[in-house]
Amino acid sequence: MTPSRPYLIRALNDWINDNQSTPYIVVDVGVQGVQVPEDYVSDGQIVLNISPSAVKSLLVTNEAVEFNARFGGVPMQVYVPIVAVIAIYAKETGQGMSFGREPGAPEPPELPPEPPKTKRPSLKVVK
């Protein structure tokens, strides 16, 4: 079976729009291929408004979510691989869906391990 995530994203986007709400997607920017404005990334994620009034040429394929939008007045082509979409929800109600791993979905790339944290030096008063 093919992954259900792109089908669910399309269906929930339609449902949210049909109910006069604003669809937002949460994106994991650590996934290879994500093209989003870095200035708006927080804790490795970005929340994007994908409503018809916020984006142009929205395309949700089985591989990616793509659209044109303006960020701070600067136009940008946004590209989000489907596996990078963590959730889709309505801004007004919070209703929607978050996604976990599913069979048939490509594995997200391994992130390099974080370097070990070094202990900060400290001073002590000696009498």
> What CATH number corresponds to the domain at position 44?
2.30.30.220
In a domain, 59, yes or no: yes
Number of domains making up the chain: 1
102: confidence class by pLDDT, cuts 50, 70, 90: low
Q: Print the domain residue range for 74.
A: 5-98
Task: Give pLDDT, residue 111.
Answer: 46
Best CA proximity match to 91, nearest among 6, 20, 38:
20
Secondary structure letter of residue 122 according to DSSP = -
Residue 120 within any structural domain of the chain: no
Sheet of 74-81, strands arranged across: 56-60, 64-71, 74-81
Q: Decide if 41 is inside a domain.
A: yes
Residue 121 lies in a domain: no
**Strand, helix or coil for residue 5:** helix
- Whole-structure pTM value: 0.77
**Using one digit for the tens of pLDDT, what is the confidence trace for 1-55?**
888 999 999 999 999 999 999 999 999 999 999 999 999 999 999 999 999 999 9
- Per mean pLDDT, which range of 60-64, 88-92, 117-121 is the poorest? 117-121
Alpha-carbon distance of 123 to 22, in angstroms, equals 53
Answer yes or no: is 103 within a domain: no
Instruction: Compute the distance between CA of residue 73 and CA of residue 118 in angstroms, rounded to an integer.
Output: 41
So what's the pLDDT on residue 104? Answer: 52
Q: Is residue 85 included in any domain, yes or no?
A: yes
Cα separation, 98 vs 89, whole angstroms: 8
Asked whether residue 36 is domain-assigned, the answer is yes
Evaluate whether residue 107 is within a structural domain: no
Beta bridge partners of 74: 71
What's the full length of the chain, in residues? Answer: 127
Which residues, at least 6 apart from 89, have a Cβ–Cβ distance to it below 8 Å?
16, 23, 24, 26, 95, 96, 97
The model's confidence at residue 126, banded by pLDDT at 50, 70 and 90, is confident
